[in-house]
Every structure is written in C-alpha cells, then in structure tokens.
Amino acid sequence: MDPIFLVEAAINGILLGGVLALLALGLNLIFGVLDIVWIAYVDLVMLCMYAVYFFNVAFGWPIWAAGLVSLAAGALLGVGVHLLIISPILTGAPINQLLATGGLLFFLQSAATFLWTTDHKTVRLSLPSYEIAGIFLPATRIIPFAISILAVIALYFFLTRTYIGTAIRAVSQDRDAMSLMGASPQRIYIVTSAVGGLMAGLAGALLIFQYSVHPFFGGQFGPLTFMICVLGGLGNMVGAFIASFIMSEIIAIGGVVISTEMGYVIAFVIFIVMMFVRPGGILAKRE
Amino acid sequence: MSRGRLLGGALLLIFAAAPFVPMGGVQQYVLHVAIQIFIWSFIGQAWSLMGRFGLVSLGHGAFLGVGAYTTTLLWNFYSLTPWIGALLAVAASVALAVVLGIPCFRFRVIGHYFALVTLAVGEVIRLLIIAERDWTGGSLGASLKTAGTASGLWTLQFADKRVFYYASLGLFLAGLWVWDRVDRSMARSALEAIGEDETAAASVGIRVTRFKLGITMVSAALTALGGVLYAQYISYVNPDTLSGIGVSLKIVFAVVLGGMYSLMGPLVGTALTTALAEGLRIAFGLKFLGMADTIYGLLLIIFIIFLPSGIYGSIREALRRRTAGVRS
C-alpha cells in the first residue's frame, strides 16, 4: 500500500480525534462530578445537529448563528436532563441512573424518527480543500478540529482559573466534603450539566460539517465516546483527551489497512483488554 | 400461595388451549405476537438472572447473535441439523461468556465498568458479523435456507405456527423453572451478598469469581437458545436486530419495565412493550414511524424514576403490604 494513504489516514485520525475529544470531555466532566454515565449523551449531540440543520437550511440563518443556537440548545438540554431525569434519582441505585438515561436514548432516537423521519440530512457548505504534498485536507475537517482544540483549552481554563470551575473540581474529588464546607452541590450539578450540554452543542455544530444527521447518529459515536471516557479514566480529563486521539488513530488507520468495521473492532478489543490491565484508565498509577 | 398456583394453572390452560380457539383470520397474527412475547420474555429472564444481582450486562446481544448465527450458518453451509447447531451455539455462547467473564470477575470489573465492557463486547460481535460479510451476509443479514420438503422435526422448520407457539411456550416455562431454581438455591444468597459487597462476601468464604461466572454462563446459554429459536422462527438473521447495543438495551428495558426482581417481571414487561408496539402500529399504521418507541422510551424514564422495581414488582409489593396490613 502506498504510504501516503497511511499518512493521510493518520492525519484524518488526528482531525477526528479533536472532535471526539470534545464529546469525551463533555461526558467525562458530567461523570466526574455526578458519577453518572449519560448513555444518551451523543443523542443530545444528535438533537443539536438537527438544530443546526433546521436553522441553517430551513430558516436560512448563517452557519455561525445556527451554531450558536446549537450551543444554547445543548446547554438547555443538559440542564433539562439533569433536572427532569437525574435529579429525582440521584440518591437511588447507580444502575437506575444509567438505565434512565438509556430510556432517554430510546426516547430521543424514536422521537427524532417520528418527527423528522430516518432521512439523512446534510448542511451543504462549500469550503475549500487544501493539498499539501499530495495529501488532501478539506476545510470541513480542519475548522472543526481547530475550534474543538480551542474549546478544550477554554474548558481547561474554566476548570482551573474560575471560582465555579474550582468548585466543580472540588465536588468531583469529594462530594461529601464539599457539602460539609457549606457549598450546595445542587448548583454545581446544574452548572456541570449545562457545561456538559454546551460541549454537546458545540460538538453537534462541528460534527455536522463532516457527517449527515439522522435519528441513529448516537449509535455511530455513542459507544465509542463511552469507551474513550473509560479508557482515559472516568472523570480524568487529560486521560480522556489522550484516549480520544488513540482511539481515533486506531479507527482511522485500521479502517484504511483492513476495513472500517475491523478498525472499530480493534479499538473496542483494545478497550476491553485495557479495562482488565488498567481499569483506572491509561494515566492511572498501578496499585 | 395456593391461590397463586390456581391462577398460574388457569393461565397455563389458557395458553395451552389458545391455538385451538377458533379465531378465524386473526389467528395467525395472534400466534405470531404470542411467539414473539414468549421468546423475548425467555431472553429477558436469562438476562435478569444476572441483572438482579447487580451484574448489569448491556451486551446480551452478543450471546443472542452468536446463538442465532451459529445455527443459521451451519445449516446454510453444511446443512447441519439445528439440533446439533443449537448445542454448538450454546457451547460457543458459553465459551464467549467464559472468555469475557474470567478476566472481568478476576479483575473486579463491576457496576458501570461491567456494563460498558459488555456493551463493547456486544458491539464487537455486531461489527464482526458485518465485517465477515462474505459468509454472514453483512449488514443485509442472511436468510435461513428453506428445507423444502424436508421441513419438520429434523430441520426445525415448520410451516405451522402452532409448533413454534408450543416450542416458545415450552422454552419460556423452562426459563421460569431455571429462574425459580436459582431463586431457591444457595447461589442466590451468595450472589446477593456479592452484589451488595464483594469484599465482604469474599471474607465470609463465598467464592466470588466462581458464582459470578456460573450465573453468567447459565445466562449466556439461555440467551443463545432464545436466539436459536428466534432465528428458526423468523428464518432470517440480521446483525442489527440480533446483536449490538440496540437489541441489548431492548432486552434490558423490557425486563426493567416489568420488574427484574420478580419471576413474572420479564413476561409482563415484554408483553406490555410488544402490545404497545403492535397496538400503535395497528392504530396508526406506518404513518407514524417511531411513535410507539417514543411512548415506550418516555414510559421507561417515568418507570425508572417512580417505580424502580417495575410494574409487576410494584404491584406485588403493594399487594404484600396490604395483606400484611390486614393480618396485623
């Protein structure tokens, strides 16, 4: 095989990894603070992609304005999911929370099928494609990558440099100690869910550059996102960031060398094996 | 208890006699729905054997897919009778359970992590079926080769739906028996202790890995059998309807809706979801695609929030509380 294909696959992997990192960090933030895996997280992204599609294509808004709508929709959805579904069962059995968001996944998928049919919907953008040393780099991939890296940096500063960000990190370290200090975890939960939803909204606005949206979009990226979070260490933001690129490289290169499905199979098998070898994630110290 | 037995016996009589009730044209349809309910309840029971002890698997589609594809492909390529095929299917499924289970339980992969690992396994099986499209038919699925004149007991293909009705009813009752056996056994107490706290359970001498592996193997074997019967009945296999995250979640949700801690929970849950889907399909036709599942998803969320032990489980609890109130 021409090595240029491998180089191209590796670059595509990095570009995909940027957007996956956004998804994984949003989900991981919620997990770190609330100790809940939102199984329906990527389905919220799917709703945000529909928001971009409708505002851009049907209402004729410019793409950046539709993207802002998607951000707002994501944040609102995040808060909504927390208040309506998670909040009532926060103290219940952990598995019920997992299953409740699983029910949400079902609801969102079928509601989207019901409302908008199973047609694939695309936002048509005419953006240039650059050729460097025989490798094609479409702007539809470079722009989302650049924006998601900026967003990841912004999230980093939000968590480390702001008061509320520090509070969020404190809750994720020790929930009970935070309430003993007189802080209300409920407010932190809502802010976390909103930020997590915001990340979903941004990811939706960026994913629609490259992918068409349909009701089962969540199934395409959902399992992968959970795998990345666990691989990086649930709640570990740096680990999730690195894991996104590992997984996207395996998928991109495996997809070129063998086949798309086998790329995913290899990624999932590596995930399963890693769970046995390093259950705390790639950055965890071995006990 | 005797009243319960009486009710059970009456229900069984009704089920046994159902195919001979003259229903005219709708009979085939009623039988079809009933077969589906029995098979999926059986699979739900198999899942709940693990689920009730906190071993929440989101990858039972893997066992289902292995079961259904093993018999179907062996029949299609080697004309191997599904009787032997089913044995091999169960063996393959149990082998998968062991390969997955030993490291999972040795390394203490529990809770969220167990759910996510099993979810990955379900996806791996689905993707492998799609990737090996030369002989599995890929994402288009594969049809069971018809036996033609040879259809009958040897090939497990029957033109008459009643045969499948009794087969699925029999399997369902066998599933109830297994569930009841587990419920009455020592293993149940051991597994409940493990579900509460593994370290504590191990400290009183319970062999944690052995018990967990055992129940996983039983669950995998039964799930594979359900897959075999389903494939024989529908005579078509598809990676999306038999493995992967979609079907795995469907199994889990039907059981959760009915109640995973009770004997009849899976049946109640499956019957309800099937009736809902069929009812809405008849009422609205294909015009409102997705409507049934929308209501289903909404019900699930509401149930998990307000009735965590499911419909049947909650009714039973309420009844028990009332009788206890009368007695005291």
In tens, the pLDDT along A181-240 reads 777 778 888 999 999 999 999 999 999 888 889 888 888 888 889 888 888 887 788 888
B16 has a chain A CB within 8 A of its CB: no
CB contact under 8 A, A276 and B108: no
Q: What is the pLDDT of residue B287?
A: 65
Phi-psi region of A182 (alpha: psi -120 to 50; beta: other; left: phi over 0): left
A41-66: pLDDT as tens digits: 999 999 999 999 999 888 888 888 98
Q: What is the pLDDT of residue B303?
A: 81
**Contact (Cβ atoms closer than 8 angstroms) between residue B41 and residue B229:** no
In sequence order, the 6+-apart residues with CB closer than 8 A to the CB of A69 are A51, A52, A55, A61
Burial class (CB in 10 A: 0-12, 13-18, 19+), B4: exposed
Q: Average the pLDDT over B110-120 and give the result.
A: 85
Residue A285 scores a pLDDT above 60: no
Of residues A94, A105, A265, nearest to B127 (C-beta)? A265
Q: Average the pLDDT over B313-321 and give the result.
A: 79
Q: Rounded to a whole number, what is the distance in Å from the CA of B300 to chain A's nearest CA?
A: 5
A174 has a chain B CB within 8 A of its CB: no
Rounded to an integer, what distance in angstroms lies between the CA atom of residue A145 and that of residue A159? 21
Q: Average the pLDDT over B22-27 and give the result.
A: 72
Side-chain-side CA neighbours of residue B181 (13 Å): 9
CB contact under 8 A, B108 and A223: no
Other C-beta atoms within 10 Å of A242: how many? 19
**Beta-bridge partner residues of A132:** A135
Report the mean per-residue pLDDT for chain B.
85
Q: What is the pLDDT of residue B62?
A: 93
A74-90: pLDDT as tens digits: 999 999 999 998 888 88
Other C-beta atoms within 10 Å of A196: how many? 29
Give percent of chain B with pLDDT exceeding 70: 95
Residues within 8 A of B (CB atoms), A 63-92 only: 85, 88-89, 92
Report the mean per-residue pLDDT for chain A.
85
Residues of chain A contacting residue B292, judged by C-beta atoms under 8 Å apart: 110
Q: Average the pLDDT over A252-257 and give the result.
A: 86
Q: What is the pLDDT of residue A42?
A: 92
B308 has a chain A CB within 8 A of its CB: yes
Q: What is the pLDDT of residue A195?
A: 93
Residues of chain A contacting residue B291, judged by C-beta atoms under 8 Å apart: 110, 114
Report the residue of chain A nearest B125, measured CA to CA.
A265
The alpha-helical segments, DSSP class H, found in B185-260 are: 186-196, 198-203, 208-234, 239-242, 245-258
Nearest to B225 by CA among B141, B167, B151, B269: B167
Q: What is the pLDDT of residue A287?
A: 45
Side-chain-side CA neighbours of residue A278 (13 Å): 15
CB contact under 8 A, A275 and B117: yes
- Residue where the block lists tokens 């029957």: B158
Residues of chain B contacting residue A214, judged by C-beta atoms under 8 Å apart: none
CB burial readout B23-42, b (16+ within 10 A) else e: eeeebeeebebbbbbbbbbb
Rounded to an integer, what distance in angstroms lies between the CA atom of residue B177 and that of residue B180? 5
Q: What is the pLDDT of residue B328?
A: 46
Residues within 8 A of A (CB atoms), B 288-307 only: 288-294, 296-298, 300-301, 303-305
CB contact under 8 A, B131 and A105: no
Residues within 8 A of B (CB atoms), A 11-40 only: 37
CB burial readout A203-224, b (16+ within 10 A) else e: bbbbbbbbbebbbbbbbebbbb
Nearest to B57 by CA among B119, B124, B125: B119
A230 has a chain B CB within 8 A of its CB: yes
Which run of H or E residues covers position B237?
Answer: strand B236-237
Residues within 8 A of A (CB atoms), B 234-263 only: 245-246, 249, 252-253, 256
Of residues B106, B116, B121, nearest to A226 (C-beta)? B116
State both tokens at B207: 């062999």
Q: What is the pLDDT of residue B39?
A: 94
Lowest mean pLDDT among A264-273, B180-189, B298-307: B298-307
Q: What confidence category does residue B1 fall into, taking pLDDT thresholds of 50, 70 and 90?
A: low
Rounded alpha-carbon distances, angstroms, from residue A157 to A154, A163, A166, A244, B256: 5, 11, 10, 20, 41
B112 has a chain A CB within 8 A of its CB: yes
More confident residue, B44 or A169: B44
Rounded alpha-carbon distances, angstroms, from residue A139 to A65, A125, A126: 19, 10, 9
Q: ipTM above 0.90?
A: no
Give percent of chain A with pLDDT exceeding 90: 22
Helix pair angle (B265-284, B245-258), 10° resolution = 110
CB contact under 8 A, B296 and A106: yes
